[in-house]
Amino acid sequence: MSAAATPATGQDRLWSVDEHLQDILAAVRPLDPIELQLLDALGCVLVDDVTVPVSLPPFDNSSMDGYAVRVADVAGASEEFPAVLTVIGDVAAGAADPLRVGPGQAARIMTGAPLPPGAEAVVPVEWTDGGLGGGPVSGMRARSLAPEGASGEVRVHRPAEAGAHVRAKGSDVQAGELALAAGTVLGPPQIALLAAIGRGAVRVRPRPRVVVLSTGSELVQPDEELADGQIYDSNSFALTAAARDAGAIGYRVGAVADDADTLRSTIEDQLVRADLMVTTGGVSVGAYDVVKEALTAVGDPDEEGGGVEFRKLAMQPGKPQGFGSVGPARTPLLALPGNPVSSYVSFELFVRPVIRTMMGLEDVHRPRTRAVLQADKALTSPAGRRQFLRGRYADGTVTPVGGAGSHLIAALAQADALIVVPEDDTSVEPGAEVEVVLLG
Amino acid sequence: MSAAATPATGQDRLWSVDEHLQDILAAVRPLDPIELQLLDALGCVLVDDVTVPVSLPPFDNSSMDGYAVRVADVAGASEEFPAVLTVIGDVAAGAADPLRVGPGQAARIMTGAPLPPGAEAVVPVEWTDGGLGGGPVSGMRARSLAPEGASGEVRVHRPAEAGAHVRAKGSDVQAGELALAAGTVLGPPQIALLAAIGRGAVRVRPRPRVVVLSTGSELVQPDEELADGQIYDSNSFALTAAARDAGAIGYRVGAVADDADTLRSTIEDQLVRADLMVTTGGVSVGAYDVVKEALTAVGDPDEEGGGVEFRKLAMQPGKPQGFGSVGPARTPLLALPGNPVSSYVSFELFVRPVIRTMMGLEDVHRPRTRAVLQADKALTSPAGRRQFLRGRYADGTVTPVGGAGSHLIAALAQADALIVVPEDDTSVEPGAEVEVVLLG
């Protein structure tokens, strides 16, 4: 589509929100996998099935602090008639050379320590006199303070079956089993399992690097002085934050003035660190909408897939939108409108799914639900446009905040939901059920 | 409480999960606020009310690309009988010195540009011939390509009321109004508002720095070779990931051997970067449980608030727990049990709320819901213990995964919920309603 406006031949084509989203998602692919250290892979999607190389636990081990015994030696034991066993030493967790437990013997054993040869069960220390010759004890004295606990005699007050308080080798997971399937999102428990089977790094889809730049000669950096006709740049902050919130690595580029050459060279400079470029502003029908002007030249329109197409969507806010690719690597670029509410809503609807698709996630959209409209008066919406109003959602109801104006950023900051008014509806009465996009 | 176990005088006191959590939260305070740049404050809690220093928008401005006109000049205009106005120039967004629109004149104006003196309304470019002398146009030609568009004549096809397509100064928010209240969590829309009112930095509660260290001579770093009796360290990875997931800055310290002096000096070294210390392992009744042994000496037990207390909780998994503070700054420390499932469940129940309390969040706990148990057979649970079983939650039902064993890390990685079996219940039948902690 040409950037230069010409006399209209009736109505320009309006694209639906769904058409635009489909076209975008059809053009975006998950990023190539990379190998990341476990903690860097948190929140990322596993690319390969991971099988278990070594059974968990890797060896029979004690689930309690106590004594490793032979079953026959403690058969019939009671507090009145305890089994008296000779303590041959300690088996601590990580012990390299475990003792051998013979008839009439016991080894003091710690949680996680390998069951020594000869032993068939563990009796918890609370079932014994702890080697002190008195009644039942509640624990062991620290080895460093009471080394004599590893020797002498112990009285066992209760019998134990074979395997009691023993975690059998492979009882958690067996070598060769599937640990995690490709496509799994790695949260803390999945990280735990990968570490437990000895995987220090995994192949995942990386977090996309998203470069956000706002355009507009009127934009001033926060904390600076406003001159006449100027406003503060908020879009680059909001969208960088939103990109990070969506799981991306967000880079914010300061606002670029409305000059096509400057914009073009800024974009070219940024491409090196971008898996996705997002611009705001300069996409409408004005004479200074330089994003349109600049972007047709960054991509090579002669080659398939290059260039950015600008469209009008049947949507409010967010009517003017651009999408395409730029640079030699055909880096995807979304050109969003410049009004703060328009750009934020556009981000939620179009950019967030792109980021999550690049991450390899299956669930790329914000959750939606239905809610009962709570309002003093009917909502109005232009015919033929899908409207996204800001609202607060609670317990199955949604209450509009602020009006429809795409500059109403204060109300946006009070919202946690978007109220969707379909294309065919020009009015929604209080008490009606509406579709709601949950932003939280 | 002494670290040395002694003959039991009957049953040790068991603390309830709620008692333990209450004691922990009573001792933990939100971190002192710091000033952060906007994007660094994403997800943090605002400490002060923020008022609006300058109205938004700061000046009357155009909501469309079009022409700024006087109402009388376009009264009664139609496509058949257009109002013909002299174009005196462009008012672009950010224009420092706007034109003055006199009778019979129009200024071409861009979205966001200040309404020039003399003008009372904006007519969208689509309501005009765009200065081309033909029918209605769909946009303007870029100024750089067609500078003549800023002069000549324009035919206006429709009238406009005063204020049409003009966003009035202060129509979003007025100077002096409350922009955001103290306690607000800063998401992208709140970041947008702060930037829009010129705030480049804000005072927030910082993310706590959480140092995680696991203990155990049996622990080996993933990707290294396992010798007999050794297992891979998973807790330090899982809990560091969980700390980050909860909003903290998580630092993982490699596993520390079961030696009290080494552990003590490691903790002392780490205190400089810790708002919270979390250890795993070494808290039970064994002779090598050095966390107990070491931690009574790091804090000064003579001074109020120092030292770490070790308890047994009426809970499964997660019976042995330690909580207190260490070092000269009385850095809070939670000593969790060493079994992977125990440590993870303990983290979710006790450490996550601490992190979120430190961040100043109101909502510190994982969400809970009720669900119908889907299972082949009844769940069993020990009397007097609150049991947390792993499960998968979907659409109001929860299905157990794996058994109750606290070493079952593979099943944990399939779970997205904890099934809570209260202290008084020893059995839960399929179809019964249970409380569920949602981990997702």
Per-residue pLDDT reduced to its tens digit, B311-351: 999 999 999 999 999 999 999 999 999 999 999 999 999 99
Residue A10 pLDDT more than 50?
Answer: no
Q: pLDDT confidence of A12, banded at 50, 70, 90?
A: low
Nearest neighbour of A189 by CB, restricted to B230, B260, B344? B344
Nearest to A229 by CA among B121, B62, B120: B62
Residue B303 pLDDT more than 80?
Answer: no
Provide the pLDDT for residue A307. 86
Mean pLDDT for all residues in chain A: 92
On whether both A43 and A87 belong to a single domain, the answer is no
On whether both A244 and A182 belong to a single domain, the answer is no
Q: Which residues of B90-108 are buried (b: 16+ CB within 10 A; e: fewer)?
A: bbbbbbeebbebeeebbbb
On whether both A239 and A324 belong to a single domain, the answer is yes
Q: Indicate the range of A25-29, A43-47, A148-152, B355-359 predicted with least confidence.
A: A148-152
Residue B348 covered by a domain:
yes
CATH of the domain at B284: 3.40.980.10
On whether both A233 and A317 belong to a single domain, the answer is yes
Asked whether the beta carbons of residue B140 and residue A5 sit closer than 8 angstroms, the reply is yes
Provide the pLDDT for residue B440. 81
Asked whether the beta carbons of residue A189 and residue B65 sit closer than 8 angstroms, the reply is no
Share of chain B above pLDDT 70, in %: 95
Which residues in B lie closer than 8 A to residue A284 (C-beta atoms)? 65, 111, 139
Residue B252 pLDDT more than 60?
Answer: yes
Q: Distance from A419 to chain B by nearest Cα, in Å?
A: 16
On whether both B417 and B340 belong to a single domain, the answer is no
- Cβ atoms B200, B156 nearer than 8 A: no
- Alpha-carbon distances, residue A392 vs A95, A201, A207, A402 (angstroms): 59, 42, 30, 11
Provide the pLDDT for residue A75. 96
Which residues in B lie closer than 8 A to residue A126 (C-beta atoms)? 8, 285
Residue A338 covered by a domain:
yes
Tell me how far the alpha carbon of residue A125 is from its chain's centroid: 43
Provide the pLDDT for residue A79. 93
Strand order of the sheet with strand A121-124?
A121-124, A66-69, A105-109, A83-91, A153-156
- Cβ atoms B156, B108 nearer than 8 A: no
Provide the pLDDT for residue A293. 83
For residue A120, give the DSSP letter: -
Residue B138 pLDDT more than 50?
Answer: yes
Q: pLDDT confidence of A405, banded at 50, 70, 90?
A: confident
Structure tokens given for A273? 């660190």
Tell me the Ramachandran region of residue A112: left when phi exceeds 0, alpha when psi lies from -120 to 50, beta otherwise.
Answer: left
Residue A288 pLDDT more than 70?
Answer: yes
Mean pLDDT for all residues in chain B: 92
Residue B132 pLDDT more than 70?
Answer: yes
pLDDT (mean) for A239-249: 98
- Rounded to a whole number of angstroms, the distance between the first and last alpha carbons of chain A is 36
Residue B5 pLDDT more than 60?
Answer: no
Q: Give the nearest chain A residue to B289 (CA atoms).
A: A142
Nearest neighbour of B172 by CB, restricted to A141, A200, A409? A409
Residue at which a domain ends, from B339, B358, B377: B358
Per-residue pLDDT reduced to its tens digit, B393-410: 999 999 999 877 777 889
Residue B7 covered by a domain:
no
DSSP states of B177-237 as a string?
SEEE-TT-B--HHHHHHHHHTT--EEEEPPPPEEEEEEE-TTEE-TTSPP-TT-EE--HHH
Provide the pLDDT for residue B4. 39
pLDDT (mean) for B259-287: 93
Residue B12 pLDDT more than 70?
Answer: no
Placement of tokens 């009264």 in the chain: B75
On whether both B246 and B292 belong to a single domain, the answer is yes
Residue A5 covered by a domain:
no
Which residues in A lie closer than 8 A to residue B226 (C-beta atoms)? 54, 58, 198
CATH of the domain at A419: 2.40.340.10
Q: pLDDT confidence of B295, banded at 50, 70, 90?
A: confident
Residue B49 pLDDT more than 50?
Answer: yes
CATH of the domain at A114: 2.170.190.11
Q: Indicate the range of A14-18, A299-303, B91-95 predicted with least confidence.
A: A299-303
Q: Give the nearest chain A residue to B224 (CA atoms).
A: A198
- Alpha-carbon distances, residue A197 vs A180, A367, B46, B96 (angstroms): 11, 34, 42, 65
Q: Give the nearest chain B residue to A7 (CA atoms).
A: B137
Which residues in A lie closer than 8 A to residue B363 (C-beta atoms)? none
Asked whether the beta carbons of residue B90 and residue A287 sit closer than 8 angstroms, the reply is yes
Q: Distance from B61 to chain A by nearest Cα, in Å?
A: 9
Question: HEC string of A427-440?
Answer: EECCCCEEEEEECC
Residue A74 covered by a domain:
yes
On whether both B420 and B330 belong to a single domain, the answer is no
On whether both A77 and A147 belong to a single domain, the answer is yes
Per-residue pLDDT reduced to its tens digit, A78-121: 999 999 999 999 998 887 777 999 999 999 999 999 999 999 99
Nearest neighbour of A415 by CB, restricted to B189, B241, B406? B189
Asked whether the beta carbons of residue A407 and residue B57 sit closer than 8 angstroms, the reply is yes
On whether both A232 and A289 belong to a single domain, the answer is yes
On whether both B284 and B351 belong to a single domain, the answer is yes
pLDDT (mean) for B410-435: 96
pLDDT (mean) for B150-164: 96
Amino acid at B402: G
On whether both A113 and A213 belong to a single domain, the answer is no
Per-residue pLDDT reduced to its tens digit, B97-118: 779 999 999 999 999 999 999 9
Residue B1 covered by a domain:
no
Provide the pLDDT for residue B302. 56
Q: Indicate the range of A24-33, A350-359, B329-338, B403-412 predicted with least confidence.
A: B403-412
Residue B305 pLDDT more than 80?
Answer: no
Q: Which residue, among B285, B355, B388, B406, would best test binding to A if mutated, counting the most A CBs under 10 Å from its CB?
A: B285
Nearest neighbour of B192 by CB, restricted to A142, A179, A409? A409
On whether both A354 and A225 belong to a single domain, the answer is yes
Provide the pLDDT for residue A296. 67
Per-residue pLDDT reduced to its tens digit, A48-72: 999 999 899 999 999 999 999 999 9
Structural domain tally of chain A? 4
Nearest neighbour of B191 by CB, restricted to A95, A238, A260? A238
Which residues in B lie closer than 8 A to residue A288 (C-beta atoms)? 90, 92-93, 110, 142-143
Per-residue pLDDT reduced to its tens digit, A158-175: 999 999 999 999 999 999
Share of chain A above pLDDT 90, in %: 83
pLDDT (mean) for A336-354: 97
Q: How many CB atoms lie within 10 A of CB B162?
A: 10
Q: Distance from A98 to chain B by nearest Cα, in Å?
A: 9
Provide the pLDDT for residue A1. 36
Which residues in B lie closer than 8 A to residue A192 (C-beta atoms)? 234-235, 237-238, 241, 340, 344, 409, 412-413
CATH of the domain at A187: 3.90.105.10
Spatial separation of the C-alpha atoms in residues A250 and A399, rounded to whole Å: 31
Q: Which residues contact B438 (CB under 8 A, 6 or more apart)?
A: B366, B367, B368, B369, B393, B416, B417
Residue B181 pLDDT more than 80?
Answer: yes
Asked whether the beta carbons of residue A92 and residue B288 sit closer than 8 angstroms, the reply is yes
Q: pLDDT confidence of B9, banded at 50, 70, 90?
A: very low
pLDDT (mean) for A207-223: 96
Residue B268 covered by a domain:
yes
Domain containing residue B339 = 14-32+206-358
Q: Indicate the range of A406-410, B116-120, B295-299 predicted with least confidence.
A: B295-299
Residue B104 covered by a domain:
yes
Spatial separation of the C-alpha atoms in residues B199 and B217, rounded to whole Å: 51
Provide the pLDDT for residue B8. 41
Per-residue pLDDT reduced to its tens digit, B193-247: 999 999 999 999 999 999 999 999 999 999 999 999 999 999 999 999 999 999 9
